[in-house]
Each structure stands twice: as structure tokens, then as C-alpha cells.
Amino acid sequence: MAAKTPKPQELLQIDHRPPREWWMDRKVVFKPGTWCYAGRPENVKALDLPFPREWSPDEEDWKLPDNWKEIVLETFRDRLHKFRSLKVFMDICVRCGACADKCHYFIGSGDPKNMPVLRAELLRSIYRGEFTKAGQILGRLAGGRKLTYDVIKEWFYYFFQCTECRRCSVFCPYGIDTAEITMIARELLLEIGININWIMGPVANSFRTGNHMGLLPHTFKDNIEFLCEDIYDITGIKIEPTFNRKGAEILFITPSADVFAEPGIYTCMGYLLLFHYLDLDYTWSTYASEGGNFGLFTSHEMMKRLNAKMYAEAKRLGVKWILGGECGHMWRVIHQYMNTLNGPADFLEVPVSPITGTRFEHAKATKMIHILEFISDLIYHDKLNLDPSRNDHLVVTHHDSCNPVRAMGFIQEPRHVIKSVCNNFYEMPENTIYAETFCCGSGAGLNTDEFMEMRMRGGLPRANAVDYVHKKYGVNRMTAICAIDRAVLPTLMNYWVPGVSISGVCELVGNALVMPGEKPRDIDLRQEPLVRPTAEMPSEDESDV
Amino acid sequence: MFGRKKGGSETKANIYELLESNYHTIVKKWIDKVYDSYPEDGAKFLRNKKDPFANPVGFRITRGIEGLVKELITEEPSEGVEEFLDSILRVRAVQDFVPGDAVAFIFELKKVIREVLAKQLRDNIRLMEELLDVETKIDRLALLAFDIYMGCREKLFQLKVEEIKKRPFLQLEGVSCPSAALSLRQMKTLREQLNLVGSRRDSEQQGH
Ligand code: SF4
Ligand code: SF4
């Protein structure tokens, strides 16, 4: 990752301006920190995907199959036929530039090929050059070019520098969705054995054991029980959740990171407390133990395979409906693709809240609702005893995670819940929230450490807005309803805005929820002291928790 | 340039007063030089987009440069200097620059000042001498810039290591068995307890 030491003649060069060239002529240089490691052969093999092998993007030879070009063009032709949207996206862009400066990677890097319009053009130019008459005859004049080895490398570089966040599509007058273009480009690359390990690993694990981490059933169960022990220490409440219980009314599915990794585990403790409070007839599953679906970042086929597990498990257990935790892309898959991939889920019932009787009609195809709409409905009906002052040590802002906000319009529900469970809430500037929210810079499978420089560039617009509310209002906590956010934003904050921690919304719910029979509370779910403890004696435990 | 008729060299003002009266020109020219280090389309965006939230890089560069020029003309720079350098270098430390190019913009300030004050400096030995003083300050600024740049790079390495350490056990190579992971967790708890005992013992010993 270390930057290379320049040669003396480079040092002596006075003009630091980068050279001017036509974008098609500029070859990609694989600098450390801007690309992800290649998929390991054992993971690729586990998924029956083509051409498992050892290779590395920074090496000259990518060990592609001899007929790579045929394969790519054939797959491209097939997808153009299959997805009408792709054909339309290839044809209708008028290069108006409205999307150009909306991508966090362009904003943070200044690299023109990170402009969404140019990112899409990487694929579009091949479409023109290989498939359209004008492009075949006029070549560059018509914006076309031929598919070469260098183009493949360029695709890999830039389509794995897109988090499929869809911010750009919000601004396109034609509704062109560059994220969908990236998805197709990744599919084309996959066919010739090009993908990244940070995606292949979780997908292979999910396929094998049901979750990204590869946790086997007893580990999954043990971890949730560990969390219950912590809950007991903090609140004095004993919780005994059930696993794989047939006949439960509700199946609960959340990202496995909530079960296993900080700070997601505190969000998970919030879920556990809430379900106990409501005496909900629900079960965890050790088979459908992952909400996240990295298949979305791999191919349509893979997304379908992984999504199917959730529904197969719901059927096996005979539940009525599914409740989903604070995940990002799980909701994009459910909301935008599930019904055509694996639906409709006729064997389930339209979700009805057993506490309030609210019928969630909008989920009638997928039979799955978001935990925050479930909670928001509870609060609306005054079913929760909440003490927001138990979050008084926190000054909160909320990051709209790309997928829930742009793929399902999930804007007000989290805010309704947050404002009901804490007293200090401040919004970030309006061109950085709601549908215009800035990505964390690490989504779509790019949340790995070898991609750190690019992540910090891409995350700058988000961090910059946090910095503003941190300085202006003293914000020290940002909530995010996405497990990738919870995994990567702490690092982002650490670099750009130290002093702001990250959590899910349900962690704050867990802090505020007054449990019948609880012991006086002097610490929050992270075991950090409350501003106004309800315990008689303030905690003397100064040990490093 | 030399040998022409004298012009403007009679000024009585000292270099700092001159810098101050040319503050806006210097800031603008220096910012332009920083933007020139980005690819053309990127630079265009940085230059033209004024909203601080839509263009955080431009915002941080502008804030940094304005602050640095202000610091420079106050003769005695304050601790604010570090903050202004950080504003720019934290960005450049994660962008496509080799270390030299990341901090090179500091030296551009010398060029900018010589350009802006060219008329006044011509044949004015006193001002030239004062300028040397300013340039020495700029050299020091460059050293400080390099320290800050390195600090940012170190932070990046540290963040990488922290992420790898925090990575759930099962994704680590070699630990593919959950019971091994569990015993690792137990070991961790044990280690924490031992550490606690250890630190208690240390403090007791210190008490003696
Ligand atoms: S989807 Fe997001 S990351 Fe991809 S080009 Fe658009 S704005 Fe950039
Ligand atoms: S906003 Fe839409 S039409 Fe305009 S350049 Fe971007 S993708 Fe093309």
C-alpha cells in the first residue's frame, strides 16, 4: 500500500499537472489501496463459477481463458436480450452531465472515470463498437471502441470502484441507473473468472452455512446466548430466544454481523430486548442466518440462490411472515428483486402486527417487513414504555443508508423511532440526506481493508457532513440501518471525524426501553455510563469495557 | 525582466503588508495551482462547485489555503497552521499522489508570491531580503506538511490493521472451525481477566 518513491527525474519535474489525454487512451494503473484482491479459487469452486485460479489484478497476466472475448461478447448479447432496461440504458444517455458530479468516488478522487456517465461509458463504448452499425463503422467518432484486454482491466478497476449506491440515478432525467450497469458489468467479468474475494468469500460461506461468516449453527446460537448473558448483566433480564422453532408466528432474519461483530451486536441486543418485552412468538434460524446477500454484487443468478434460502426456511418452519433486521442491501433485494426472483411467497401470510393488529399491505408480495416499520407502528400505538433520557449521553445524527432510502423510500420510519428514543437529534445538511444521501464509500462488497484509500476518498462526502454536525451540535453518535455501514463507518469516522461512534437504531431502542422487572440501569448496552443513572450508586467500575 | 525601467520598486511597505494587501489574489492563484494537480475534469469540478457539502475536497482545500495564507502574513504563525495543513493533506494522503506530489503544493506558494509581487520586488533589495524570510517560513511549512501527511498515512495503516484484527474469527485464514473460534473468544476473555489482575498487581506494587 505504501506509495512508491518517485524517481529523481520525477522529483525534479516542476509541473505537477497530470497529462492530458483522451479517456480511451488512458490505461489503468493498479495502485495499492484502490482495488480488491481476486476471488480465491476454493471460493469460486465452491460456487461452481467459471475459471477458478490464482491470479492478481496488479500482475500483467490475468490468466484469462483463451476465448475470453467471445465469452464476454456472448454474455453481453444475452443480457441485452434478457434485460430491456440494459438495452435502454445503453441507448438513451444524452450525456447531459447531470449525474457527473454526484458520485462520491468522483467527488473524493477527482478521477473523471469515476463520473457515473463515464463509468457507464466504459461499457457503452463497447456496446457501440461491437454491436451497433454506427459504432462498428465510425469507431471513436461514434463513441465506440473494440473490446481489448486493457478494457477488461479498466472494467475491473472502475466497476469495482462503484458501490452500486444509485445516488447518480436520482439526478438522471432519464432514470438511467448506473448501479444496474455496474451489476451487469460485474456479471460479464464473472463469466471469465474475474471477481473479488471479499465478495466470493461471503457468498461461498452463505451458500455453505447460511451466513457470511461461515458460522455453523451451534456457533450462531452460542453467540446470541453470549449477548443474552450481557443483557442479563446490564438489565437483570433473562432472555431465552428460540432457534429453528417450527410453528413460530414470525421468522426473524438479520445480517450475521449483528450477531458477531461490533458494533452490530449492540443493535442485536436491542432486538432481543424488544422481542422479549413484546413476548413475541418468533424464532431465529441457524440456516437462514444471514440477511445480507452478496449475490446482489455477483450476479442475478447468485442473488436468487441466496435469497431463496430465506424463503425455503420460512416454508420449512411454517411461520406466517418474516421480520427483517437493520440491513441495507437485503432490503434492496427484497423490495426490488425478490418477487420476480423467487416470489410470490404464497405460502406465507400478509404480515400483521400481533400487538397492534396493523396489516402491512405493502408487503403482500414478499411477506416481509422491516423491524423499524414494525417498531414505528408500536410507538404510534403507544405500546412501548420508553425513557429517551437513557440516551442523553448521546447527541445523534442519522445516516440514510443507500439501499433502504433509495430502493424502498425508507426515510421517516427510522426518524420517527430515533426521535422517540432519544432527546438530542440533529440532521445533516439536506443535500446529504434522504434520497440524496452519500454512500459510506464501502458498499457493494468493497468493505475490505486492501481498498482503504478508495474507501476513505469515497466516504469523504459523508464524513464531511458528519463533521459539520459534530462541530456545530456536538454530535457524537451516528445511527445507520445497514450492517455494512456499522462495519465501515467507525473506520471512516476514525480517519475523518474522530469522536463520532456508530450504531444501529435498535441499540438506542434497547437503551430506552423500560423492561418490566429490570434492575436500575446505570450503563447502556455498551456498558458505558448513563448521564442520569437510575441505579442508586453510580458505577465505580472504571475498567476498560 | 531586468534592465527595464524601474517601476513600483519605491514602495515603503514591508513584505507582510504587501502580502496582506494582495491576500485575495494570492489565495486564488495558490488554490488554482492546487487544483491544477488534478485531472482536467476533476479540476473543473473542484473549481466551479461552491457548495461545501457537494464539493468537500474543494471546500477543504479552500479552507486550508485561506487559513495558511492568513497565518503566513501574521508574521508569527499559530497552532492553527497544523489544522489548515491537515484540512488539505488528510485528503491528499488518500488520493492518487506520491508523497512528493501530495505536499508539492506548498512550494507553489513561493512561485505565486513572486508572481504577484513581481513589480514591487523588482530591484528592491530590502523586499527581496524580507521575501527570503517568508520563503524560509514556507520551507518550514513544507516540513510540517510532510509530518502531517505521514501522520495521515500512518493512520491509514493503523486503521487497516485494526480492521483485520477485528475481523470475525472465521474469516481469518486457518480458523475455519467454530469451536476454535469459541475457544479463542474464551481465551480472549481469560486474557482480559489476566490483564486486569496484572494491572491491579502493578498498581499494588507501585503502592508499596
Ligand atoms: S451507483 Fe453510486 S458509486 Fe456507482 S456510479 Fe452511481 S453514484 Fe457512483
Ligand atoms: S444524467 Fe443520465 S442522461 Fe445525463 S449523462 Fe448521466 S446517465 Fe446520461
Domain residue spans in chain B? 15-152, 167-207
Residue A527 lies in a domain: no
Q: Which residue has the higher pLDDT, B179 or A41?
A: A41
pLDDT of residue A139: 86
Residue A322 lies in a domain: yes
Q: Is A258 left (phi over 0), alpha (psi -120 to 50) or beta?
A: alpha
Q: Looking at CA atoms only, how far is residue B12 from chain A in angstroms?
A: 33
CB A512 within 8 A of CB A521: no
Give chain B positions within 8 Å (CB) of A463. Answer: 56
Ligand lying nearest the CA atom of residue A173? 2
Distance separating alpha carbons of residues A231 and A156, to the nearest angstrom:
45
Cα separation values, A350 from A281, A321, A325, A362, Å:
16, 7, 18, 9
Question: How many residue pairs from chains A and B have C-beta atoms closer than 8 A?
Answer: 143
Q: Do A108 and B56 touch (CB under 8 A)?
A: yes
Residue A41 lies in a domain: no
Q: Environment class of residue A42 by beta-carbon count within 10 Å: exposed (0-12), middle (13-18) or buried (19+)?
A: exposed
Q: DSSP label at B13?
A: S
Strand arrangement, sheet containing A321-324: A282-284, A250-253, A321-324, A368-370
Q: DSSP label at A451?
A: G
CB A16 within 8 A of CB B101: yes
Grid cell digits, residue A67: 476465448
Q: Do A112 and B39 touch (CB under 8 A)?
A: yes
Q: Do A214 and B97 touch (CB under 8 A)?
A: no
SS3 readout for chain B: CCCCCCCCCCCCCCHHHHHHHCHHHHHHHHHHHHHCCCCHHHHHHHHHCCCCCCCHHHHHHHHHHHHHHHHHHCCCCCCHHHHHHHHHHHHHCCCCCCHHHHHCHHHHHHHHHHHHCHHHHCCCHHHHHHHHHHHHHHHHHHHHHHHHHHHHHHHHHHHHHHHHHHCCHHHCCCCCCHHHHHHHHHHHHHHHHHHHHHHHHHHHHHHC
Given A136, A168, A194, the domain boundary residue is: A194
Q: Give me the phi and psi of B125, to 5 degrees please.
A: -60, -40
CB A322 within 8 A of CB A246: no
pLDDT of residue A524: 97
Residue of the nearest CA to atom 8 in ligand 1?
A103
Cα separation values, A460 from A426, A437, B95, Å:
19, 12, 11
pLDDT along chain A (545 residues), means of 10: 52 61 87 96 97 97 98 98 96 95 97 96 96 89 93 98 98 96 98 97 94 91 96 98 98 96 96 98 96 96 96 98 97 95 95 98 96 98 98 98 96 98 98 98 96 98 98 98 97 98 98 97 96 61 43
The angle at the Cα of A377, spanning A336 to A250, to the nearest 5 degrees, equals 65
Distance separating alpha carbons of residues A171 and A159, to the nearest angstrom:
20
Strand arrangement, sheet containing A477-480: A396-399, A477-480, A501-503
Statement to judge: residues A350 and A404 lie in one domain = yes
B41, B52, B55 member nearest A112 (Cβ) = B41
**What is the pLDDT confidence band of residue B2, given thresholds at 50, 70 and 90?**
very low
Give chain A positions within 8 Å (CB) of B95. Answer: 108-110, 453, 457
A111, A205, A449 member nearest B160 (Cβ) = A449
CA dihedral sign of residues A193, A196, A197, A202: negative
Residue of the nearest CA to atom 5 in ligand 1?
A116
What integer is the mean pLDDT of B100-105?
Answer: 95
Peptide bond before residue A344 is cis, with ω within 30 degrees of 0: yes
Residue of the nearest CA to atom 3 in ligand 1?
A162
Q: Looking at CA atoms only, how far is residue B41 from chain A in angstroms?
A: 6
Is ligand 2 within 6 A of the CB of residue A312? no
**Separation of first and last alpha carbons in chain A:** 33
- Pick the closest to residue A145 from A23, A19, A21, A20 (CA basis): A23
Residue A520 lies in a domain: no
Looking at every residue in chain B, the average pLDDT score rounds to 82
Distance separating alpha carbons of residues A39 and A180, to the nearest angstrom:
22
Q: Do B178 and A461 touch (CB under 8 A)?
A: no
Residue A19 lies in a domain: yes
B40, B53, B178 member nearest A216 (Cβ) = B178
Q: Residue A29: in which H helix or E strand, if any?
A: none
**What is the pLDDT confidence band of residue B207, given thresholds at 50, 70 and 90?**
very low
What integer is the mean pLDDT of B81-85?
Answer: 96
User: Which of A117, A158, A219, A492 is most worth mutating to test chain B (most B CB atoms within 10 A of its CB)?
Assistant: A219
Please give the single-letter amino acid code of residue A300: H
CB A293 within 8 A of CB A306: yes
Residue of the nearest CA to atom 1 in ligand 2?
A172
**CB environment B58-74: b (16+ within 10 A), e (fewer):** bbbbbebbbbbbbbbbe
pLDDT of residue A21: 78
pLDDT of residue B69: 96
Q: How many structural domains are present in chain A?
A: 2
Grid cell digits, residue A18: 497530470
A5, A262, A452 member nearest B156 (Cβ) = A452
pLDDT of residue B78: 77
Statement to judge: residues A236 and A173 lie in one domain = no
Give chain B positions within 8 Å (CB) of A11. Answer: 100
Q: Do A1 and B156 touch (CB under 8 A)?
A: yes
**What is the pLDDT confidence band of residue B10, given thresholds at 50, 70 and 90?**
low
Residue range A129-153, pLDDT digits in tens? 999 998 888 888 888 999 999 999 9
Given A139, A161, A194, the domain boundary residue is: A194
Q: Which atom of ligand 1 is nearest to the CA of A120?
A: 5
Q: Give me the phi and psi of A18, to 5 degrees please.
A: -70, 150
Statement to judge: residues A378 and A315 lie in one domain = yes
Query: Regarding beta strands A250-253 and A282-284, do their DSSP bridges make them parallel or antiparallel, or are they unpaired?
Result: parallel
The angle at the Cα of A180, spanning A175 to A181, to the nearest 5 degrees, equals 100
Distance separating alpha carbons of residues A114 and A119, to the nearest angstrom:
6
Give chain B positions within 8 Å (CB) of A4. Answer: 98
- Pick the closest to residue A453 from B81, B90, B142, B123 (CA basis): B90
A6, A449, A468 member nearest B163 (Cβ) = A449
Distance separating alpha carbons of residues B13 and A6, to the nearest angstrom:
41
CB A288 within 8 A of CB A306: no
Range of the domain at A418: 203-512
Residue range A309-341, pLDDT digits in tens? 999 999 999 999 999 999 999 999 999 999 999
Q: Which atom of ligand 2 is nearest to the CA of A94?
A: 3
Is ligand 2 within 6 A of the CB of residue A352? no
Residue B177 has pLDDT above 60, yes or no: no
Residue A135 lies in a domain: yes
